[in-house]
Structures are given as C-alpha cells and as structure tokens.
Structure 1
Amino acid sequence: MPLRLRHLLPLVVLAAMMAMLMLRGYVHSEILADYRIRSEAAADTVPQKILDGGPVVDTRGATPTSLDVPDHRIVLTFDDGPDPKWTPEVLDVLKKHRAHAVFFITGTMASRYPDLVRRMVDEGHEIGLHTFNHPDLSLQSKKRIDWELTQNQLALAGAAGIRTSLFRPPYSSSADALDNASWPVTQYVGTRGYLTVFTTADSEDWRRPGAAQIIRNATPEKGKGAIVLMHDSGGDRSQTVEALDTYLPRLKEQGYRFDNLTGALKAPSAHTEVTGVELWKGKAWVFLVAASDDITAVLVVGLAVIGFLVFARFGLMLLLSAMHTRRTRKRGFVWGPDAPVTEPVSVLVPAYNEAKCIENTVRSLMGSEHPIEILVIDDGSSDGTARIVEDLALPGVRVVRQLNAGKPAALNRGIANARHDIIVMMDGDTVFEPSTVGELVQPFADPQVGAVAGNAKVGNKNTLIGAWQHIEYVMGFNLDRRMYDVLRCMPTIPGAVGAFRRTALNRVGGMSDDTLAEDTDITMAIHRDGWKVVYAEKARAWTEAPESVQQLWSQRYRWCYGTMQAIWKHRRALVERGPSGRFGRVGLPLVSLFMVVAPLLAPLIDLFLVYGLLFGPTGKTIAAWFGVLAVQAGCAAYAFVLDRERLTPLISLPLQQLLYRQLMYIVLLQSWITALTGGRLRWQKLRRMGQVAAPPGESAPAEPGRATAGVDGGAP
C-alpha cells in the first residue's frame, strides 16, 4: 500500500464517521424537522364541491374531483409509522382478522425500519406517503414539498421496491377542513401525480381516550362507508391495538368490509414497481441509513469507553501522582542505602546530522555538577557533526565514529566504549541543566533500580504547536510517569533523558532495533528482567519539539507505531510469571488502553460535539464538552504546579483539544493501518533548528554550531 494512501485513509475514516453521524441526524428528523402548525384560514378559494365532497381528492386533471367510499366499506388508515413496537402489533391484529389497511408512512421511519414496510406490502396492505419529516406543508415552499415527497418515495423504493400514488398531508383531517393555505398544497401534489386522502372518521387515538371511546369515534353511522384515521406510531399506541382487536370483528358482524383504498374504490393499485437505477438508489439509501444507525451505536459505545478511560486515567493520575510526590518530597527521603550516588557516570549522545544542535548539547553537559564522561557517537553524519565536537576540544569529551547503522547500534557502540557502570542517554538536540545528571542517577542508590526516566520538557514552547506539546509533555507524559512509577510499570524511558545500569542493559541484550521505539522496547525488557524502573522528576532536560505539523506528524507516527511494535513484541509477558507477568498484566493493559485505545477514540468527544451542536440537545452537549475540558484543565493545572511551570500556556488548552486530538487520532490510525497492512516504517529524522541553546534562565553558548544540519534519514 503506497504511503500516500496510508496518509489518506485515516482522513477518509474520520470523514466517514462524521458523514454517518450527519446521516443519522438527518434521518432522525433532528435538523430538518419543522414543528410549526399553521392556524386556520379562510376557505373562499376552495371549490365548494370539494368541501362538500368525499375524503379522496383528485387534482391530477384540469378539474378537481372528489371520491367517497361506498357504504359498508371501511378503509382503515394508520399515520406516522412504521414504529418498531406498535406497527408489528397492528399488523398482527389485522392479519388475525383478515383485514387490510392503508399505512401512510413517513420517510424517516421507513428509512429506519424498512422490514416493516416490506411486511405491510407482503401482507396485502397499501402504502401512502405522509412526507419525509412530517412538516405542515402549507408553511413550506414547493421545493421543500418536492423534497419531502421525493425522499419519502426513495425510502419506500428502498424498503419495498415500489412507488405509491397515495398521499396524506400531515396535520390534515377531513376534506371540509381545507382552506386557502392547504388547498394550494393539494392542488400542487396533484400535479405531481398524487391522490390526496383525507378522513371521514377520526378515532382520536392520539388523545388516548380509552379503547371504548376509540371504537365509538371510529364507527361510521348507519352503514356508511368511511376512511378511518388511526396511528401506529408517535407515542403509546396500546389503546389503538386494544381497540382494533374489538373493532374489527364487531364491524364485520355489522356487514362491513375492511379493504385497501383502491380496492374500496375499485381503482387500479396505487403501487407501481420500481426498477433500474431508482430501485438501486432506494436500496443504497436504506443500506446507508441502517449503516449510520449501526455505526452511531458503535460510536456511542466508543464514546462511553473513552469517557470511562479519560476519567479513569485522570483519577489514577491525580491519586497516584499525589502519592508519588508525597513520597519523593518528604523530608529525609533517599532512594536507597547507597545514597547519595557520587560515582562518575557515562553520558551517551547518539548523533546523526545534528550540526545545529550538538554544540549546545555538549556545552550543557560540561556544566554538569556530577562527574561525567561524554561520548558523542556519530552515526555516519554527513554535515560535520563529529568535526564540530572535536573542534571544541573539551576535556572529558570523546567522539566515536561509525558508519550509519541506526540509533540502537550507535547506543550499543557507546555502551561498549563507556567506562562507567551507570550510563545516561540523551538526544543530540537536548540540553541538560547542571543538576540533571546528578538527579537522574540518585535512584541507583537502590540496587534493584535498573533504569530511571527523567523529566523531558519542551524548550521551544513560544509557538502554538510548541505550547500544545508543552502541555502534553507536562501533563500527558510526566504526570503519567508519576502514575506508572507508583504502579511499577513505567513503559518508556525517554530518549531525551534516561539512565541505565550497565548490568541491566547487558542482561537484556542492549538496545534493539526490532522496533522504532527503542526506548520503550528497552524499558519493557528491563521490567521483564525484574528490575525497577523509576521516575526522577527533578532530572530536567530541555528538548526541541517539532515546530511544524508535518514534523510533529512524523515524530508521533514513529512513536505510535514503535509503541505498538513494542507491545506486540512483549506480549508474552501477559502469560508469564514473576516480574515479567506482573508487568504484562498491569503495564501492558494500561499502556494499551491509555496510549493506544484512548487516543484512537478521543476524537469521538469532538465528533459528538459537532453532532450535538447541529442536532441537539445543544445545551447539554456544550455543557458535557466543557465539563470534560474542565476536568482536563484541572489535571493540567495540577501537573503544571507539580512541575513548577507557569499556567499561561493552558490558555490554548481548548484549541489543543479541538485540533491536536484529531491529529493524534489520524497518526494513530495511520499506525494501525501500517501495522495491519504489514508495512514497515523507516526512521524519520526531524529537521532541527537549534533553538534550544540552554535551559531556561541560563546563557546560551557564546558560539553556536557552525555547520548546517541535514534534514532526513537518521538512526532507526
């Protein structure tokens, strides 16, 4: 599958989900419904013969006419359906008493329940149109009337493969109720080929007056024929069903026949078979409506899952990070019996085309308060990275050159050349504070600690994208690390600032190139080997975050895909015993839920925000969205306080949630597509600008790096 298609597919999936939600709202009458009802008007333009005539009005010809139902014939009509509960019960009673009826269906209900429409036709009943959305047509334009009829016919064609020539306007009653506003509608629909069917007896079942009263209202006088109005939808129709079971046999005993309208009038059937393109359009419509309902139901479940995960994660982060803070900040706290750790350590700096950043990185290390040796492993750079370091001629700094073999190979080369038992690893675009190394290695006072995660922070946070990543680093990464530390399942030692015990590295075979997230891979391997992995919040490192959407995409794509690879690689931990099993049954599920499932489902929050704004309930939707945002803001503020950061960047949090979340979703979905299609993502090195020259509050080096940086490639 070409890479371009992998980029496109996540956008297509997101657009398809939004389209399904829009279709669902469209069909459920939540955007186009018009509940206005016109008040009565004069009737002087309505022909008197129509007002005094029968309930069936034919305006298809030049002269309007009306028809009446013969004596002892009753045409039962049911409006507003089909309904999944009441229509089957009405059909069962009709079938029981061998009676036929006319069902005036709405397009919205027919689109959602096509099987019921098909059953009506199969059991010999007649279908009429009752518009798509049930508006008062006297308040609508001709264009809207045409749309209501066309959409209703489309739903009918998809459900039963037919068209119908029968029509009943919403909110209508008997023909003598026609007036100057409703008569033009009747005339117009006649020009579109429809017979308009009014009533002679209204059961008023919508009032729920009781079965006995419904029967009285629906019974014609002195053997006259009638078109009786009932409803099979729009509310509780239990009284209608009850009345119908008595009404049908009683009137049959009085000599009445219950027939379709065209049967009672001895006219050709109102149904016409639909074929060809129109039939397939109808079937496609019904299929898409069903799909939109099914997909929406799945998305609602997904929304519930993401809601649970969001609040569960926030709850765990707040509770466990507070425990972590109380433990590490209490007076007299030490990491272990060998505290403090004062022995020299080796700092490895893998570098590939880092000319713009490498001098800043090395000079920041020269200010370390802890004794260190510095190894810059040049992984075949073509921009003079190694020469820049060598020209600095700084004491304690060594350069190790190798042909380009990838970041894991560079780190393994550095481990082999390191002189000390504690090894610090950092990226070539990162700068350390003077206290960083000392704070990072103190947990090794505990002999059970095999690796330590430092506190990676965004150094270039003066742009909008930088501010968003700053929020993510402080809240999403460092607050998470406090939580994972307490749970003893830290999933990742950040490449920008991490430390390892050489013994732990050797026991797991060093850095591996099996995944694109070598830092996550090695961390999981160390957990499975029985070592502790902890978080040192005071070991701060300042790194250069991507400054463009394209660069951010590339970085997060690699992270997401690499994390998924690492989870899959270490999946056997789920069934193993000992430390590996504990990490597998605690760490892997949490990482999968919070780092894979939750980001994949998070955009549902915003999709349903758009849905709620368009289709309602608008107030509750806005309140719910801002409620989630308030919880996120509270957690973010707490994280910022713990990290002693200014709260100003949180102003951009609402915009971050709307835009950043969609980007992370697309990146994660693209990673899933790459994994499922068997693709293998190559390393994607980011273009560095060298903007993080020194930690905040410190002076930058006097002479910045002299060479120009490369752009792509790098250590996989």
Structure 2
Amino acid sequence: MTRPPSHTPAGTPPWPGVPAPPRARHARPRTLLLLAGLPLTAFLAWGAAHTISLASSWNTGRGSGMALAWLAAFLLLWWVPVSWLERPKTVTARGQRALDALDVTVQIPVYNEDPHALGACLDSVLRQTRPVQRIRVVDDGSVDTDGSLVTYAAVRAELLARTATPGAPEITWDRTPNRGKRHAQMSVLAHDDGDIFVTLDSDSVLDPDAIAEGLKPFANPQVTSVAGQVLVLNHDANALTRMINLLYLPFTRGLRSAQSVLGRVTINSGTLAFYRADIVRDAAGVYEHETFRGRPMQMNDDSMLTFYGLLAGDTVHQPSSMVFTLAPERPRHYLRQQLRWMRGTTVRHLWWLRYMPAGGIVFWTTVAEYIHILLGLAIPAAILAQPDLRGHLGVLALSGLAIGTVMSYLMALRLFTVRRSDMTTGQNLLLFALAPLAALWRMIILRPMYFYAMATCHRINRWGTRASVEVGL
C-alpha cells in the first residue's frame, strides 16, 4: 500500500508548554571550503611535511623513527578528509513508492524525563512529513525525587487526544517495572510486526523531515541501519552547552560521516536511529540480556543494535535526517554522561575486535584508533626520555600547537554543513572561532577521563539512568 506523504495540519494548536520546534537542513558550503578549507588544508599539509622532515633530519639515530611515528599519527586521522565525501542518500520515484509502503514503528523509552521535553518529542513525531504507523511509548517505572510514581498523565492524555482521528498513528503507552532501557524497548518491539523500527530518546525533537529522510537509505537492500544527525537543542543555554556543540562534532559530523562513506557506521546514537525490524526482532532475548564479565549491561544499547546491523549488512549515516537533543547543562551531568559513554565504547571496542571480520573495516579502524592513542603517549614520552631529543622539545611543541589548532578549525568547518532556524551565522562563526578551546578541553579533560574509563570499564554496575530530571525544556 502506498501512503501519500502528509503531516499534522499547519493549523494544529501547539502542544501545551512546548515551543515551536526548530528546523534544520543539510548544506554543502562550497564557498566556505574554498575560502577557509583549502588554505587550512594546505597549511596543515605543509606543517605535517615540515615536522616529519625536521624529525628525520635530526642526527640522533632516532630521527627516522620519530618521523615515522609522526607520519603514522597524521595518517591515522584518515576520517577528517573522508568525512567531507559524505552526501545524503537519495531515492528514485520507484524507490520512494516502496518506502511509502513500509510500516514504521517509533519506540520511545521514558525514564524520569521532563514532561515538556517528552511532549516536544511526541509532538515532533506527529508533525512528520512522512507519517509513521505506530508510536510505542514505554515508561520504565519513572519515580519522583520523593519516591512517588510519575505517570505523565497529562502528556499521555494529550497524545491520545491528538491521535483520536482516523488515519492517525496507532498509540500504545505501557508502564513497566524499572529494568533498563533495553527491556523497555524490547517489551514492545519483540512482538511488533512493523518493517522499520525507529528508536528515539525521550528528549529527542525531530525536524519535520527527519523520518522521510532517514528512510531513504533503506531503498538500498544492503542497508540495515541508519543514524540520524544529532544537533544540540539547548545550544545557547550556557557556556557548557555552547562548548558541547563543538565537542560533539568530531563524532557526529566527523568519524560517523567518514564511516558512513564506507558503509560501516559503528554507533547509531539512540537519539535517532532506524533499523530493519527483523534485525531487532531476531535479537529479542539476547539484546536485553547482554553481560560483560558476568554483569548485566543495560546501557550502551545503541551501539549494540548497530552491532547487529553491522553483522547483517551496511550501516550508514543520513546527514539530512535531523534530530535535536537536550545536552547536559551542568558539568557534573556532562562528565557522568561522558564517562558512561566512554566505558560503553571501550566494551564495544572489545566486541568489534572479537566478532568483526579480521580483514574488515571496523576491525582495522578500531586497531587504528588504539594505535593513535598509543602514539599520542609514546611520542611525548620518547622525547622526554631521550636527552638528544629533548633539545628539540620547543620546536616540536610549537609544531604540535600549530597543527592541532589547524586541525581543530578544519573539524569546526563541519558546523557549516547544517543550517538551523534557531542559530544565526554570527553564533556559528563565534563557535568556529572558539574551536581551539574545544581541542584543549579534549586534551586536558576528556583524554584523561578516557584512560580512566578504559581502566574501569568493568564497573558496569555503576551505569544507570538518571535518578531525577536533569535537563528541562
């Protein structure tokens, strides 16, 4: 059956207490790349060549080894240029008709979410230009700070009232005992007969074209999973959320984009991800009972679902499928989020090295990431440990500072691949100017945290959902 595209009429009243959602679209800033990207790339290439040449010329007996180490460090950043090759997937008219016939189920797990954020999420699903067939909300036993139950009665009533007309999506709203996000998802998806499952976090706010764009890659039968492009909704709340705009870039519009060019995206953020439904249904009973060192894992759910997709076919990123999410506004919440993600990524690295083909892209890019980390430690250690190299420390420090600054600006150019209705050109330019601060934050704060997370990844009993609402809309 072909379903003509439709959406909630423009005259539909706004959801109570929820502001109008922003809009975003993918852009290809060719002029910007010519004016800024090419000079930065040329300087980076000159700086890298100069540093390698300088190291190889040292008459220390170790110069050639140092030059090779620097060369390897540069080559292992392959994903920075490759990310610019990413393009949104498009479809033919025939392919679009096939996509229109798919039954799409959106699943939203909820735990201690701000009611207004949940309302904004549901409202954005109802306003999609490509309607979905089912919305399945599962409240994973939310509780208030005093221990009383949170029912979201007003949100649920509003959702049911808005979907009471013929042709509206089928709605289910379940409440389960608190067992974690995976159990909340599979309590409904294990038995759902949809064709495509869309997983959303409860604070996700979709661009109106997010579903339509996210489905397009499935016109290729080899594609099993699609990641949406994640944007920070509360981008201007404070200095931290402004910085998070930059801190998210290397993954959301860098590594993930490069992986998508190769069809091997390793982590589809739970903020917005699409899966062929049979991939998820086949994982029922296993996915929600994953363990690590004998302990149950409920977090890191998005990378596990992507892992199933990788085993079955291609996983890609659709940069034109936009979703806005609430970022932490307090340092404590942000650092706890990062530590949880880092521990989860460490565990998933072990899974990729164990189960992905040894000759495949995922295996070797994981190896490359660890080699890059080791080089980042080994090069400074070798310089400090050898008296004949310490004499060149100042030159290397200046070269490293210059190259790092240029790299941070090259990555920050990815800011301009998205045009948002809630951000001005001036705001983007200011963020771009501050890019080196984000690089410094990664080096001083996030890199030591990553080493700690790697060493303590077994502490999965500390991974848990929030005890109370952390960010409000």
Aligned residue in 1 for 2:105 = 346
> Secondary structure in 1 aligned to 2:360?
helix
Aligned residue in 2 for 1:136 = none
Q: Kindly provide the CA deviation profile for residues 121-161 of structure 1, in whole angstroms up to 9, marking residues without a partner as x.
A: xxxxxxxxxxxxxxxxxxxxxxxxxxxxxxxxxxxxxxxxx
> Secondary structure in 2 aligned to 1:460?
coil
Q: Kindly provide the CA deviation profile for residues 212-262 of structure 1, in whole angstroms up to 9, marking residues without a partner as x.
A: xxxxxxxxxxxxxxxxxxxxxxxxxxxxxxxxxxxxxxxxxxxxxxxxxxx
Counterpart CA distance in 1 for 2:223 and 2:288 is: 20
Output the TM-score relative to the length of structure 2. 0.70
Q: 1:367 aligns with which of 127, 133, 145?
A: 127
What amino acid is aligned across from residue 667 of structure 1 in structure 2? M
Counterpart CA distance in 1 for 2:211 and 2:343 is: 30
Residues 640-679 of structure 1 aligned to structure 2 (within 5 Å):
640-644=415-419, 646-675=428-457, 678-679=458-459
Q: 1:376 aligns with which of 137, 141, 144?
A: 137
Counterpart CA distance in 1 for 2:375 and 2:154 is: 46
Residues 302 and 553 from structure 1, CA distance in 2 versus in 1: closer, same or farther, beyond 3 angstroms? farther
Is 2:293 the counterpart of 1:518?
A: no
Aligned residue in 2 for 1:429 = 203
Is 2:193 the counterpart of 1:406?
A: no
Aligned residue in 2 for 1:312 = 75
In 2, are the aligned partners of 1:358 and 1:385 still within 8 Å (CA)? Answer: no
Residues 196-345 of structure 1 aligned to structure 2 (within 5 Å):
308=71, 311-318=74-81, 320-325=82-87, 328=88, 333-334=90-91, 338-340=95-97, 341-342=99-100, 343-345=102-104
Counterpart CA distance in 2 for 1:407 and 1:466 is: 25
In 1, are the aligned partners of 2:328 and 2:471 still within 8 Å (CA)? Answer: no
> Secondary structure in 1 aligned to 2:332?
helix
Q: Kindly provide the CA deviation profile for residues 2-56 of structure 1, in whole angstroms up to 9, marking residues without a partner as x.
A: xxxxxxxxxxxxxxxxxxxxxxxxxxxxxxxxxxxxxxxxxxxxxxxxxxxxxxx
Residues 505 and 474 from structure 1, CA distance in 2 versus in 1: closer, same or farther, beyond 3 angstroms? same
Aligned residue in 1 for 2:227 = 453
Q: 1:469 aligns with which of 244, 248, 255?
A: 244
**Alpha-carbon offset, residue 600 of structure 1:** 7.3
Residues 130-169 of structure 1 aligned to structure 2 (within 5 Å):
none
Q: Kindly provide the CA deviation profile for residues 478-512 of structure 1, in whole angstroms up to 9, marking residues without a partner as x.
A: 22122111222211111001011111223344634
Counterpart CA distance in 1 for 2:393 and 2:282 is: 58
Q: Kindly provide the CA deviation profile for residues 625-658 of structure 1, in whole angstroms up to 9, marking residues without a partner as x.
A: 1222112312321x22333473321222222222
Aligned residue in 1 for 2:190 = 416
**Alpha-carbon offset, residue 409 of structure 1:** 0.7
Aligned residue in 2 for 1:390 = 156
**Alpha-carbon offset, residue 609 of structure 1:** 12
Q: Kindly provide the CA deviation profile for residues 675-702 of structure 1, in whole angstroms up to 9, marking residues without a partner as x.
A: 4xx54343233565545x5xxxxxxxxx
Counterpart CA distance in 1 for 2:340 and 2:231 is: 19
Of 617-626 and 363-372, deviating more is: 617-626
Higher relative CO (CA 8 A, sep ≥ 6), structure 1 or 2? 2
Residues 666 and 322 from structure 1, CA distance in 2 versus in 1: closer, same or farther, beyond 3 angstroms? closer
Residues 304 and 472 from structure 1, CA distance in 2 versus in 1: closer, same or farther, beyond 3 angstroms? farther
Aligned residue in 1 for 2:460 = 680
In 2, are the aligned partners of 1:389 and 1:399 still within 8 Å (CA)? Answer: no
In 2, are the aligned partners of 1:429 and 1:690 still within 8 Å (CA)? Answer: no
Residues 648 and 418 from structure 1, CA distance in 2 versus in 1: closer, same or farther, beyond 3 angstroms? farther
Q: Kindly provide the CA deviation profile for residues 96-143 of structure 1, in whole angstroms up to 9, marking residues without a partner as x.
A: xxxxxxxxxxxxxxxxxxxxxxxxxxxxxxxxxxxxxxxxxxxxxxxx
**Alpha-carbon offset, residue 432 of structure 1:** 0.7
Q: 1:488 aligns with which of 249, 260, 263?
A: 263
Q: Kindly provide the CA deviation profile for residues 271-326 of structure 1, in whole angstroms up to 9, marking residues without a partner as x.
A: xxxxxxxxxxxxxxxxxxxxxxxxxx9xx999985x556533544331x333322x
Counterpart CA distance in 1 for 2:332 and 2:71 is: 31
Counterpart CA distance in 2 for 1:672 and 1:599 is: 12
Output the TM-score relative to the length of structure 1. 0.47
Aligned residue in 2 for 1:444 = 218
Residues 621 and 427 from structure 1, CA distance in 2 versus in 1: closer, same or farther, beyond 3 angstroms? same
**Alpha-carbon offset, residue 554 of structure 1:** 1.3
Unaligned runs of 5+ in 1: 1-296, 575-580, 694-716
Aligned residue in 2 for 1:573 = 355
Residues 661 and 371 from structure 1, CA distance in 2 versus in 1: closer, same or farther, beyond 3 angstroms? same
> Secondary structure in 2 aligned to 1:520?
helix
Residues 46-85 of structure 1 aligned to structure 2 (within 5 Å):
none
In 2, are the aligned partners of 1:456 and 1:542 still within 8 Å (CA)? Answer: yes
**Alpha-carbon offset, residue 459 of structure 1:** 1.4
Identity %: 21
In 2, are the aligned partners of 1:457 and 1:540 still within 8 Å (CA)? Answer: yes
**Alpha-carbon offset, residue 592 of structure 1:** 4.7
Residues 431 and 304 from structure 1, CA distance in 2 versus in 1: closer, same or farther, beyond 3 angstroms? farther
Aligned residue in 1 for 2:401 = 625
Counterpart CA distance in 1 for 2:381 and 2:108 is: 43
Counterpart CA distance in 1 for 2:229 and 2:354 is: 30
Is 2:320 the counterpart of 1:527?
A: no
Counterpart CA distance in 1 for 2:447 and 2:205 is: 30
Unaligned runs of 5+ in 2: 1-61, 145-149, 164-168, 291-296, 421-427
Residues 531-610 of structure 1 aligned to structure 2 (within 5 Å):
531-574=313-356, 581=357, 585-594=360-369, 598=372
Counterpart CA distance in 2 for 1:557 and 1:301 is: 34
In 1, are the aligned partners of 2:103 and 2:194 still within 8 Å (CA)? Answer: yes
What amino acid is aligned across from residue 404 of structure 2 in structure 1? V
Aligned residue in 1 for 2:33 = none
In 2, are the aligned partners of 1:436 and 1:540 still within 8 Å (CA)? Answer: yes
**Alpha-carbon offset, residue 618 of structure 1:** 3.7
> Secondary structure in 2 aligned to 1:347?
strand
What amino acid is aligned across from residue 322 of structure 1 in structure 2? W
Counterpart CA distance in 1 for 2:122 and 2:66 is: 47
Counterpart CA distance in 2 for 1:674 and 1:688 is: 26
Aligned residue in 2 for 1:108 = none
In 1, are the aligned partners of 2:249 and 2:411 still within 8 Å (CA)? Answer: no
